[in-house]
Amino acid sequence: MTFSEDEVICIRHWDYSETSQTVGLFTRTTGLVKAIAKGSKRERGGFSGGVDLLSRANATIVMKPGSDLATLVNWSMIENYPNIRRELKANKIAYFAADLMGRMFEALDPHPNMYGAFAHFLRQIGSGENHTEGRNELSLLEFQWNLLKEAGVQPSLGRGVEGAQVVHFDPRDGGRVVASESATTWKVRSSTMDVLDLIKDTGVELPETIEAASVVRANRLLATYIREVIGEEPFTMRMLFGPLQTHIERPS
């Protein structure tokens, strides 16, 4: 057995018994880990009544050779992002993000940079400080781009015809803007692609002066692209965005 002290975020949990839980953790140094937290739901246990979804903690994990299920033996809370628990939109965004963290990476595949980006994202939408709808949309866009980049499947984008209001985006060709429409392309406003070009070129936080509607459309485009990448539409995606179409946009 190997004992590991790590910083973790709980991205899933299930009841295992009346007193125990099974948890999905995204850890800073190990990546995705599935573990059993025995006795975690006991009020006087070492987990303070249970491991909460979307909480960050220092944890001790026991890894067993030949087993896909580790054992969580210690949980020391760092933060639990209160705004996620009191504001519906922030809750939907956070659940969607946590779902993607569990879908886009393999178990025991370390992604420390993505762990840091995820923790930063949760702090932005979960602290309640400087909380606005526009800020949440910007945070989500930055998260989705970072996720795709870390997983190695970020769209390559590109430029359309100069002055065109609509470009042709092909998700099956690496998320590339192509010259002409085909059976696999999606129509996307040039202003939406401009936002994605900015986040691709700068790699820094987007200014809040960006047109809000373009940020919303860019979020929907990346979510739809993620759906293509993973081959299914998660329930959390539909709860956040509603139906996502692939002939996406028309110029107004």
Q: What is the pTM of this model?
A: 0.91
- Name the pLDDT band for 28 (thresholds 50, 70, 90): very high
Per DSSP, the residues of 151-201 read: HT----B---STT-SEEEEEGGGTSEEESS--TT-EEEEHHHHHHHHHHHH
Note the pLDDT of residue 251: 40
Task: Please check whether residue 102 lies inside any domain of the structure.
Answer: yes
Task: Tell me how far apart the alpha carbons of residues 164 and 194 are, in angstroms, rounded to a whole number.
Answer: 12
**C-alpha–C-alpha distance, residues 68 and 81, integer Å:** 29
Nearest CA-CA partner of 217 in 146, 124, 122, 140: 140
pLDDT at 153: 96
- Categorize the per-residue pLDDT at 49 as very low, low, confident or very high, splitting at 50, 70 and 90: low
Q: Do 97 and 15 share a structural domain?
A: no
* Residues 212-216, mean pLDDT to the nearest whole number: 92
Could you tell me which residue, 163 or 116, shows the higher pLDDT?
A: 116
Domain that holds residue 45: 2-79
Q: Which of 25-39, 92-106, 110-124, 158-172 has the lowest mean pLDDT?
A: 158-172
Residue at 37: amino acid letter:
A
Could you report the per-residue pLDDT of 183-202, keeping only the tens digit for each? Answer: 999 999 999 998 998 888 76
* Structural domain contains residue 48: yes
Q: Where a domain ends, among 58, 79, 100? A: 79
Beta strand pairing status for 31-37 and 2-15? unpaired
18-46: average pLDDT: 87
Residue 59 lies in a domain: yes
Average of pLDDT values for 87-91? 93
Confidence tier at 208 by pLDDT (50, 70, 90): low
CB distance 59 to 30 below 8 Å? no
In a domain, 247, yes or no: no
pLDDT band at 250 (very low <50, low <70, confident <90, very high): very low
Sheet holding 186-189, edge to edge: 176-178, 166-170, 186-189
Does 84 fall in a domain?
no
High-pLDDT (> 70) share of the chain, %: 88
Residues 126 and 207 in one domain: yes
CATH code of the domain covering residue 235: 1.20.1440.120
Give the list of residues 6+ apart from residue 8 with CB closer than 8 angstroms, or none.
25, 26, 27, 28, 33, 56, 57, 58, 59, 61
- Residue (of 88, 89, 87, 113) closest to 26 by Cα position: 113
Cβ atoms of 66 and 75 closer than 8 Å: no
Q: How many domains does the chain have?
A: 2
One domain, residues 60 and 155:
no
CATH code, 19: 2.40.50.140
Tell whether the model's pLDDT for residue 98 goes beyond 80: yes
209 or 157, higher pLDDT: 157
Query: What does the pLDDT average to over 162-188?
Result: 91
Q: What was the pLDDT predicted at 163?
A: 74
Query: Which of the listed residues 27, 53, 79 is the one where a domain comes to its end?
Result: 79
What is the average per-residue pLDDT within 143-148? 96
**pLDDT at residue number 50:** 65
Whether residue 212 sits in one domain with residue 127: yes
